Each structure stands twice: as C-alpha cells, then as structure tokens.
Structure 1
Amino acid sequence: MYLTQGLHRALQQCPERTATIFSGRRHSFGTLGGRVARLAGALRTLGVQPGDRVAMLAHNSDRYAEFFLAVWWAGAVANPVNTRWSAAEIAYSLNDCETAVLLVDDAFAAQVPAIRQQATVVRTVVHAGDAAAPEGMLSYEALLQAAAPMTDAGRQGDELAAILYTGGTTGFPKGVMLSHANLWSAAVARLAELSMAPDGISLLVAPLFHVAGLGRLVTQIVIGATSVIEPVFRADAVLDAIERHRVSDVMLVPSMLQMLLDHPVFDAARLRSLQRIVHGASPMPPALLDRAMQALPHVGFITSYGMTETSAVVSLNGPMCQATRARFDKVLRSVGRAGYGCEVRIVDGEGQPVLSGTVGEIAVRGPGVMLGYWNKPAETAGALRDGWLFTGDGAWMDGSGYMHVVDRLKDMIISGGENVYSVEVEAALMLHPAVASCAVIGVPSEQWGEAVHAVVVLRPGHLADGQALRDHCRTRLAGYKCPKTVDFIEALPLSAAGKVLKNRLREPFWQGRSQRVN
C-alpha cells in the first residue's frame, strides 16, 4: 500500500469534506489534492527525483501536511526536521541523508544562512511561510501557482517514505527509515483496534517531525477525516481549538495534559465534544491520569506505547473513563497489550523470553518495524536481530499480556547493587500535593555507585523541602529507592515532543566521569 492512497480515496468519495483547518484557512480534500499534485510537480521541476530526500523545518501547519503528501506523490522521501535542534544538528541530518531541497516557515527562515553554511548538500530553499519570501529563497505559493500537477509516482510497500531522526542524546542523531508499508500498516492497525469515524475531527498538536504527530496525520488521511492543526502546543490555544471546531480526538503527551489541566482558563464544559485523549511518548504519572479522569469524566483515555522505530504503535490500553475505571483497575497503570499487527515479548540479555512478571527488554516484530537506520549498518544490526526490534525499554508482562514499562534501560539506576526504576520513584513523588512535575536520575556516589536524585518542580503556592519529599517517598517505596538528594527548579527541560531531557539533567553530575552504559 502507498501513503497517498487515502487522499485518492477521499478525492473519489468526499472531495468537499474539510481536510485541514489551520489559522483561519480551510482546505477541502479536493483543494488539498490539487495543491499536493502541483507541489509534487514543483518539486520535480526543482530536480527532485524518486527516492530523493526533501526536508521541512517548520512548526505544524496545513502546508506541513501538504509537504508530506506532495513528497510521497513525487515519489521522494520526507525528512522532517526537529525544530529544537541547533543549526549544526540540523546540518548534520541534512548532510547525512543528502537532502537537496529544504522547506522552511517564517519561524525558522532566519536560521537558513547558518544552516546552508554547514549543510553543503542543500541547493534549494523554499519559503513556506505567510510573509514574503526572503532573498535567496523560493516562494511556496508562487511555486504552486506556476507548477503543473503531476501524476502520482505510486511508490509503495517497502519503498522508503520518510527518514525521522532521533534526538541524538547519546551522540549523532540516527535516521530511522520508515517505509510506506510501515506507516500505513501502523495507522490501519490502530484504526482496526480503535475505530474512528470519517466525520471525527482530530486535533494535531504533537509536532509533525515526531512519529506521534506524523502517525496521527497518516491516520487522518487514510480515513479521509478532518485535521485541525495547531502550530505548537499552547494550552489556551488548544482549549479554544477543541471548543471552536468541536474536536473529538487528540493525542497529548503527559506534560501537555498537565499544562492543559493547570491552565487558569481550563473548563471541562468547553471540552464537551472531546471523546478521546490518547497519551504516550513518555510515562503517564498515575496521579496525573487520576486527576485528568476526574476532571474530564466523559473522555476516554487511551494509553499508547511505541517509538519512532515501530512507526509509533506497539500497544494500546483503553479507552478508560471515570465510569469504567473500576473495570480497568488492575491494568490501569499498564501500557496495554500488543496491538493488532505486531508481536511483543519481554526478553533477557541473551534475547530469550523471560517468565511472566520478570523485568526484561521489550522486543517487537511486525510490519510497522523500521527498515533500519540510515547509513548506520552497525546500529541497525544491534537493534534488529533475528527479525525482532530490541527497543531498549525495560518492562514486565503479566499473564494476560499486559505490559508494564519500568524504565528506559539507560535510565535505570543501579544503587548499591539494586535496580531502581526512575518511573516508579517519579510516580511516588507525583502523589505529593506540592509536586507539579519531577524527574529522577542516577548521580555518582562513592558509597552506592549511583544515588537516586530527584529534580522537582513545585506547584505555585506550595512549599516542600527535600526531607519532606524523602519522608513522603518512604511511605510508598523501599528505602533504597527513595531519593538521597533533591533539587528544585522552575521547569524541567523538555524536547519539542514534550519528553523530559534527562541527559541534560544528568550532564552536570557526570562531566569528566564515565557513566555506566546499559
């Protein structure tokens, strides 16, 4: 199957249906199809051939959706760029996969000179913003108006569709190669398990350079449904968009959900249209999920586990709402069971399955698993072994197949010979009424090898010191799991996808030392 198939289907069956809503602009599927065919034709005039890479550095927009579809229509490969990266990191990714054409919006146009100085492969920059195109860049809308529509190139199946670069927290970023079949099968598997009607309206606020945002866009195109697109996450704007456009479905990472609930203008009555919230990308603190379910009792909450290398979806849990939570109580804290279209098992260091209830590494097999890492055969061989993807996530599975993720293996703390899972300690800290958010890391200790260290953000108007939080943890955790030290900061460092950047928190403690590698 191919990733423009859903657009062809919508053009045949519902060309008048609204495809995208962004910043006052509405495009029907008929309009979207015409713009995509012309943009693909424009890319061809710029020298883009089937298999070539085309990049976009921008916030979410309707043009970002057009970018993906047009690149695939032209038979090329999409390379969406992480908006949080420095010019050097961006240039590395562009040079690494030899991206010749780069699209940028108004927010990132000023970075282009620094990027082009280092990214020698880039020959053409297209300005996809609303302002006038800066000198040296081509105008997106002018290209569309001048271009003739081209016939869909029809690349499909195992042919490469996108290269999504990982965060690069342990060295240079790795380009995850995802095929048409990878992304399409992941979307269809999700739809088979959690069906969504074509008249459902989804809010796209997770960044489209991230697999969570891209996966949701692909799903919307597959079923020919409307996407309301927000450029970045802002709690007030998300509340307004859900209310104004009667959004039924949204994907949020836990940090986004917390900011939504904490916002002064939050009002559950404004979210009456909302039917489901899918959460994933990082662990959901149980206290936050409890709070959200109480605040929005009519909403079904769905836990999603996955990663870039699996085209997002591996397992799902839910939907769960306040009225049905008793039925899900035993599995509420799990990330669910293997979704349709993939196999999951928990393995030991030798790759052999472990007994039920035993912590090991999650291994995944199925049509959503990546082709490999671009130009990194050794890393590909390390991750893909005997047909399985070894994820680097630690978890245990119960007798009914429900997975409980305990930590990234690299984030696990070994203190005094005992394994301490940061997720468990964070969940305990989040139960304290003064804690707004937190992260737990391992820091060097002469006595213990590693010591448990907590970094905490307090709620406005609440007070707590390190001793109070340690005493609180001792009522819920074994002594060796409780934080030995606590730092208080105003905000945790987050990636553009809303994940806590624990490498930044660890760095000051481990500078000049050899940190344990799992």
Structure 2
Amino acid sequence: MQPGLTSPPPLLPEILRLNARWRSTSPALVSDHETLSWAEFHRRTNALANSLAACGLNPGDAIALVMSNSVDMAVVIAAAIKAGLVTAPLNTSILASAMISMIGDAGARAVIASPVFAKGLETAAAGGGYELPPLRLLDRGNLTGWRTLSSLIEESSSAEPDWTPHRDHPLNIIYSSGTTGMPKGILHTHGTRLDWAYDLAIALRYHSGARTLVTLGLYSNISWVMMLCTWLCGGTLFIRESFSAADMLEQTASNGITHTAMVPVQYQRILDDPAFDPEKLASLQYVMSCGAPLLPYTKSAWLEVCPGVIELYGLTEGLITTLDPEDAPGRLASVGKPVAGTDIKILD
C-alpha cells in the first residue's frame, strides 16, 4: 500500500498566502475609505512584516496596538502574524494610564497607535514615570517622535517574510475585561488560535462567500472570532469604526452582509431603532451573540428576522459552547453544547 501525500498542516501565515494566490482579486478588507483585494492585502502585510523586522523587532517580540477600527489595524495584525510578532490589542475605551500598565505588562517593544490616542499615551507615560517603547508608529497623521505605517510599508519589499511559524509560537495577548479583578493578559499561540478558528468557523458556519460586518473594536476577542474565521475561509471583512444600529442596518442592506457577531445590547438596539426593517437584514445567514446572555424575548425576535442566530458562551482562555439555531426553539435559556471535537466535564 502506498502512503498518501502528507505535509505539515498550514498555519495562519500560509493560509493568508494561499488566499492571496487563489482569491487574488476578491475583496479581503472593506471600509469607508478603501477596499483591499486579497492580493493587495498580502503585498501590504508582507511589506509591513519585513519593515518591522528591519526596525529590529524579532519573532516573539510583543507590539501594543492602541488603534481605532480600520483597515490599517487589520493589516497590522496580519503583518505581525506573518513576522512572528505578538500583538497586544488594547481596549481603547479605558484610561491611558491603564493602557500604559498593559503595555508594560506585555513587555511591548513597539506601540502602534491612532493619533487620537498617541498624545494621551505620551502624557500618561510621562505622568507615571514610564517610557513608551522606542519604536512608535502612527496609523495616520504626524506626531513628533512617531513614524507612520505608510512610510514603513512604502520603504520595504513585499517578498515573503523570512520566518517559518510553528504551533507553539506565541501569536497574541488578549486582555480580559477585568470583571473578575484587574485585566489579565491571555496568551494564545499560533496552534491554539488556528484550532480555535477552525472550531468556530464550523460552529458559526463561515464559508468563502462570507461577508462579515465588524462593529466591535478589533481589540475584542469577539471581533477576533469574526476576523480569523473570515480569513480562514477567504471571505471579506467589512470594518466599521464604531457601532450604530442605523449604520448596521444600512451596511447589511447595501453590502449583502452574511455574518456578524455582537453583544446582546446591540441586538436590542437594532430592534428598537426607528430605521429597523427586517428586509434590510435579509442577506444575513448566521449571527453570533456573546458576552452576556441574550434575553429570550430578544432572541425570539431575532430568530424571526434571521433564523441563523447562534449564541456563544465561552472564555478567552478557550472553553466554548454554542446554542445552535436548530436547538434554540424551546431552549432559549440554554448555553448549548461544546463545539465540535471538544468535551466538558463539570466538577463540584
């Protein structure tokens, strides 16, 4: 008997490269300001990955992200994945002094910020006797002592980065919301993030035609669900700078959005918005609710609009259950079942 062809399973850098090869002209990222095809997304992230390495950052180094939702932030995350850097995206709604503590906790060797946050970081660092990492980058605009992302991308080659990933290499640090005390940094590796993305892409029914609307900050693990599942399948991310119910309705109707993920209060605000019209949500296939229980009356109303409502319960550390739409009728308060290939044991 002849053995079958075998090869190491691809990790995220290779998956992104293959999407650029086979889906080169399909849109990868869309915002109000620009649209990047998979080929352009690949070129831009390669150039930034190479430039960050040229700046002295090495695989395993952490970079803190204090950025507004944008195509630039998604590019930075993908570039870091390709360069072996560890992104620590920070919640931009917290105090700058708390961000400084997290930057120090992550051991960040670089910080990438939007101008609206950069000056506050400088002030908080100076006031607390801290020093920001020496490599400071702005996603747009100008500020003394900071370089621009665009200049780094323009200066560098878009050749494949000279780094080979492995499953145990760290990929990102997600900081918890601090509901159980001080926010804590949770480290994910390339292997665990990929396994997590495969599990959730199956559970949330992503596919290559997914047109995913991101309305929560890309510092949130909820947004990472959408981002990684969409990238894994070669779909399209529509990135919004912030959320409003009216904008979500308009974006879904005009762009044929198929997938999204939101917290329960967003679902209720959409139902309550004067512009609400079920026809505007007709393209939705599957939507995820998480972060808090989705109240039965809200869930029932949404199941009338979109039969593919999937409620997720889980921790950033990894435990996940989903209540599938097929199981929801009569069990609206259930936390569902473990995602495929996992099990749960409840201990007293």
For residues 82 and 339 of structure 1, do their structure 2 counterparts lie closer, same or farther at Cα, with a shift above 3 Å needed? same
* Distance across 2 between alignment mates of 1:167 and 1:196: 27
Q: How much has 1:37 moved relative to structure 2?
A: 0.5
SS state at 2:346 partner: strand
Residue 155 of structure 1 aligns to a residue whose secondary structure is: coil
* 2:212 alignment partner in structure 1: 202
Q: Aligned equivalents of 1:182 and 1:314: distance in 2?
A: 13
The residue identity in structure 2 corresponding to 1:344 is: I
Match in the other structure for 2:24: 15
Q: 1:264-308 deviations in whole A, cap 9, x for unaligned?
A: 1111111111122211111111122123234x1x44111111121
Q: Distance in 1 between matches of 2:329 and 2:236?
A: 34
State the SS of the aligned residue for 1:308.
coil
1:96 and 2:102 are equivalent in the alignment: no
Partner of 2:342: 342
Q: Does 1:138 align with 2:138?
A: no
Between the aligned partners of 2:213 and 2:253, the Cα distance in structure 1 is: 11
Residue 102 of structure 1 aligns to a residue whose secondary structure is strand
Q: How big is the shift at 1:36?
A: 0.3
Could you tell me which residue of structure 1 aligns to residue 288 of structure 2? 278
Q: CA RMSD in A?
A: 1.7
Shift in CA distance, 107/268, structure 1 to aligned 2, threshold 3 Å: farther
Partner of 1:37: 46
- Structure 1: gaps spanning 5 or more residues: 321-326, 349-518
Please point out which of 215, 225, 228 is paired with 1:215: 225
Residue 191 of structure 2 is aligned to residue 185 of structure 1: no
Over 3 Å counting, the alpha-carbon distance change for 1:203 and 1:167 in structure 2 is same
Cα separation, 1, equivalents of 2:280 and 2:37 = 26
Alignment of 1:454-493 (within 5 A): none
1:93 is paired with a residue of what secondary structure? helix
* Distance (Å, rounded) in 1 between the aligned partners of 2:336 and 2:181: 32
CA–CA separation in structure 2 for the residues paired with 1:114 and 1:343: 47
Please identify the structure whose Cα radius of gyration is greater.
Answer: 1
Partner secondary structure for residue 17 of structure 2: helix
Instruction: Look up the match of 1:362.
Output: none
- TM-score, with structure 1 as normaliser: 0.62
Q: 1:332 Cα shift? A: 2.5
Q: In structure 1, which of residues 301, 304, 321 is the aligned counterpart of residue 309 of structure 2?
A: 301
Alignment match, 1:163? 173
> Helix, strand or coil: the match of 1:4?
helix
One-letter amino acid of the structure 2 residue matched with residue 6 of structure 1: I
Alignment pair present for 1:128 and 2:139: yes
Give distance in 2, aligned partners of 1:207 and 1:246. 21
* Alpha-carbon separation, structure 1, partners of 2:245 and 2:115: 22
Q: What code does the residue aligned with 2:147 have?
A: L
Correspondence for 2:4: none
Q: Quote the residue 2:164 is aligned against.
A: 154
The question of whether the paired residues in 1 share the 8 Å contact of 2:67 and 2:113 is answered with yes
Structure 1 residues 229-378: aligned runs within 5 Å? 229-294=239-304, 296=305, 298-310=306-318, 314-320=320-326, 328-348=328-348
The one-letter amino acid paired with 1:316 is T
Distance in 2 (alpha carbons) for counterparts of 1:192 and 1:36: 27
- Greater RCO (Cα-Cα under 8 Å, separation 6 or more): 2
Q: Quick check: 1:211–1:307 contact (8 Å CA) kept in 2?
A: no
Shift of 1:5: 2.5
Report the CA distance between 1:120 and its aligned residue.
Answer: 2.2
Counterpart residue number, 1:26: 35
- Provide the C-alpha distance between the structure 2 equivalents of 1:156 and 1:331, rounded to a whole number of angstroms: 41
CA distance in 2, matches of 1:60, 1:341: 33
**2:28 and 2:300 mapped to 1: Cα distance?**
34
Alpha-carbon distance in 1 for matches of 2:158, 2:13: 15
Output the CA distance in 2 between the equivalents of 1:271 and 1:107: 33
SS in 1 for 2:108: coil
Given that 2:205 and 2:286 are in contact with CA atoms closer than 8 Å, whether structure 1 keeps it comes out as: no
Q: Distance in 1 between matches of 2:343 and 2:20?
A: 34
Per-residue CA shift, 1:106-125, capped at 9, x if unaligned?
33233132244244251121
Q: Secondary structure at the match of 1:278?
A: strand
Q: What is the deviation of 1:94?
A: 0.6
In structure 2, stretches of 5+ residues that fail to align are: 1-9
Asked if structure 1 preserves the Cα contact closer than 8 Å seen for 2:88 and 2:172, the reply is yes
Structure 1 residues 120 and 279 mapped into 2: Cα distance closer, same or farther (>3 Å)? same
Deviations 1:460-508 (A, max 9, x none): xxxxxxxxxxxxxxxxxxxxxxxxxxxxxxxxxxxxxxxxxxxxxxxxx
TM-score w.r.t. the length of structure 2 is 0.91
> Over residues 113-149 of structure 1, what are the superposed CA-to-partner deviations in whole Å (9 max), with x where a residue is unaligned?
22442442511211103xx222221111111111223
Instruction: In structure 2, give the amino acid aligned to 1:37.
Output: N
* Contact 2:109 2:134 (C-alpha < 8 Å) held by counterparts: yes
Contact 1:2–1:154 (8 Å) recurs in 2:
no
Instruction: Report the count of equivalent residues.
Output: 336
Q: Which residue of the partner structure matches residue 60 of structure 1?
A: 69
User: Contact 1:204 / 1:251 at 8 angstroms: preserved in 2?
Assistant: yes
Q: Are 2:100 and 2:121, in contact at CA under 8 Å, matched by a contact in 1?
A: no
